[in-house]
Every structure is written in C-alpha cells, then in structure tokens.
Amino acid sequence: MLKKIPDDEYEHFWKEYSTNIKLGVMEDPSNRSRLAKLLRFHSSRGAEMTFLSEYVERMKPQQSHIYYIAGSSRAEVERSPFAERLVRAGYEVLYLTEAVDEYCLSSLPEYDGHKFQNIAKEIFDLDENERQQSAHEAARTRLEPLTRWLGDKLGAWITRAAVSRRLARSPAALVATVFGWTGNMERLALSNAHQKADDAQRKHHLSQKKMLEINPRHPVILELLRRVQEDPEEPALLRAAHTLYRTAALRSGYMLQEGQAVEFAETVETMLQTSLGLPPDAAPEEEDFDVDADADADADAAEAEPADEHDEL
C-alpha cells in the first residue's frame, strides 16, 4: 500500500511517521529490510531528501559503501571535515540530522548488498586507484616522524595519530573508534536529561580516546613536520600540538572536557594579543581600590547609628 502513495502525499506521510519508521528499523528485526525501503535522508547531492534505493542507483561504479555523517543540522554536517574529500571526489554522503538517525543506520547492517559506513569512525574504506594508494603510502612514510611525535605528546587523549584519507581542507580531525561514540552521539548522550551523570556506560564512552587524523597536504601539518624534524623539544611545538588537538575535537563535533575549554580559550586570547601586536603576557590594567577609605566609611557609619537612636529618645 505504501508503495502506491504519490510523491506529494508521501511527503506528508514522512513528516508524520518518519520517527516511527526509524524506531521500527531499530527495534523490529523481522521487518527491518522492508522498513528500510521507506527511509529518506538529506544528502550532499542537493536540497531534496533521497531514498536509499535512489542513493544506490547513483553510486559510483567502484563504490562499495553507503557513506553517511550525523550532526545536529545540515549546516553542521555540510562543513564536517569527514566529508571533505568524499564530496570533492564526487561521492554522495547521506546527511543524518535527526536525533534518532545515527542509531537507526547503526542498527541497519546493509542495504541492497551495500554496507553502511559512518565516515566519522576509524575504519574508513575509500575505493582508490593504484596511484592514489601509492601517494597515501608515501605520505604516511614522509609524515611518520610527526605522527609518532603527536602520538607521544598527545597520548593522554588519543590512541594514535595517522595520515588521513578523508581530509581535504581541514588540518586535522578527531575520529571515533569502531565501537566508540562520534561527536554527535556524545552530544546526544550529554544532553539526555534522563541519563544519570554517573552512568557506567556513559562514563566508559566519554573516557574513550579517539584517533587524531592529520591532513598530509595542509600547510600547518607540513610546518609542524619541518619543526619536529629540526627540534622536537621546541616549547612552542607542544602548545601547537595541544591547539591542533582541541580545534580538531571541536571541528569533529566533540566537546572539550576537564578544563580543556578554559585552557583553549586562554590560548586563543594569547594568540589574539600577539596578532594585535601586544606582548603575549600583557595583563589587564589594575583597578584602583581605595580599601582604607571604604573601611573608614564603614567605621563612621557604625559609630553614627547609636548616636541617632539616642537622639530619638
């Protein structure tokens, strides 16, 4: 019956029942494949929503996965670092912008023989030709001193640093492990008012380290490589590594935790002072507090109160 619904009427049907259909995909394994045919999502192809069947029809000849990225809005996912190279190379990426979307596709193993791939997670398969694979291996070898150095200096927060296959414009991104939470999942968990702050599963996922991916073609990364090779103990390099990690976390949808937000703000403020030609340690002007005068005024007021009461008597 649903297959016979005209396009204009399906739009209304989807607005009314889309959440129920997605929950059905998650909770009803026996009907999962049939319900999947009704799913629609935004995508990098254009403004119109697309069925999974339409996505598959448009897949590149060598493409083996259905790519998707989740976030709080279309504007956010369109600027995601994870989709940069895919979109530039002409691959279509599904944009998941509803709270239930990422859970829905996580529970759907495949569609029409094609596995889904969350491009914000560690395992990322991109069908590359021999030339591209060779270039990537060369970049890995060339940047090995930097990835090793970053893995050592940022070891408290990351599992490792690696050369990225998915970045085009951004210098770095923070990638979830296979079973870890993406930035979108983490945001949803932290905003869940019904979940206890000391929930064991939540604590476990929030404490998991992520992988730092770096863009082998970005000028910031290439300059870091040069300086690490010259003097890996240069103090400014460690500050740069911390800033790179924190900007990558924010760009990837994660929140800074355990005092990192304050430290990051202080770093940005120091950079702002330097860019304005001020010394990095320039401090605010001291405010003149006349403590003695305030104390004398309080003492005079205290002495005046009993006198006023005596006069009234």
pLDDT digits (tens, 9 = 90+) for 67-83: 999 999 999 999 999 99
Report the DSSP beta bridge partners of residue 42.
95
pLDDT digits (tens, 9 = 90+) for 285-312: 888 776 665 656 666 666 666 555 545 4
The superfamily in CATH containing domain 135-275 is: Heat shock protein 90, C-terminal domain (1.20.120.790)
Q: Map out the domains of the chain as residue ranges.
A: 17-118, 135-275
**Can you give the pLDDT of all 313 residues of the chain as single tens digits?**
455 677 778 888 999 999 999 999 999 999 999 999 999 999 999 999 999 999 999 999 989 999 999 999 999 999 999 999 999 999 999 999 999 999 999 999 899 999 999 999 998 888 778 898 899 999 999 999 999 999 999 999 999 999 999 999 999 999 999 989 999 999 988 887 566 666 777 776 777 899 999 999 999 999 999 999 999 999 999 999 999 999 999 999 998 877 788 888 888 888 888 888 888 888 888 887 766 656 566 666 666 665 555 454 3
Sign of CA dihedral 94, 122, 22, 197: negative
17-118 to CATH, choices 3.40.50.11260, 3.20.10.10, 3.65.10.10, 3.90.1150.110: 3.40.50.11260
* Predicted local distance difference test score (pLDDT) of residue 62: 87
Global pTM value? 0.83
Total Cβ atoms within 10 A of residue 139: 18
